[in-house]
Amino acid sequence: MELSSLFLNSWLVKNWKITLAALLVIASVNFVRYITKLQRYTKIFKFSKHRKTLLDGEEYVCADFNSKGNKRAHNDTTPNISYVPALKVDKHVIFNGATVTLPGGPKQFYELANNRRSVRSYSAKRIPPFELIEECIRAASTAPSGAHTEPWTFCVISDPNIKQHVREIIETEEEMNYAQRMHRQWTADLTPLRTNHIKPYLTDAPYLILVFKQIYGFLPNGERKQHYYNEISVAIATGILLCALQAAGLNSLVTTPLNCGLALRRLLARPENEKLLLLLPVGYAADDCVVPDLKRKALEEIMHIY
Question: Contact between 177 and ligand FMN (CB under 6 A)?
Answer: no
Residue type, 221: N
Stretch 237-256: interaction string toward ligand FMN, x if CB under 6 A: ----------------xxxx
Of 138-167, binders to ligand FMN (CB under 6 A) are none
Number of chain positions touching ligand FMN (CB under 6 A): 11
Q: Which of 117, 224 has the CB closer to ligand FMN? A: 117
Q: Which of 61, 89, 294, 302 binds ligand FMN (CB under 6 A)?
A: 294
| CB 85, min distance to ligand FMN, A | 33
Measuring CA to CA, how many Å separate 62 from each of 45, 59, 65, 229? Answer: 18, 10, 9, 10
Question: Contact between 118 and ligand FMN (CB under 6 A)?
Answer: yes
Contacts made by residues 292-300, CB under 8 angstroms, sequence distance 24+: 292/192, 292/193, 292/194, 296/114
Question: Contact between 213 and ligand FMN (CB under 6 A)?
Answer: no
Burial tier of 156 (Cβ tally within 10 Å: 0-12, 13-18, 19+) = middle
Number of H helices, E strands in the chain: 11, 6
Adjacent-strand bridge partners of 210:
155, 279
Q: Which of 120, 163, 213, 227 binds ligand FMN (CB under 6 A)?
A: 120
CB 260 within 8 A of CB 208: no
Question: Contact between 193 and ligand FMN (CB under 6 A)?
Answer: yes
Question: Contact between 195 and ligand FMN (CB under 6 A)?
Answer: yes
Contact residues for ligand FMN, defined by CB under 6 A: 117-118, 120, 193, 195, 253-256, 291, 294
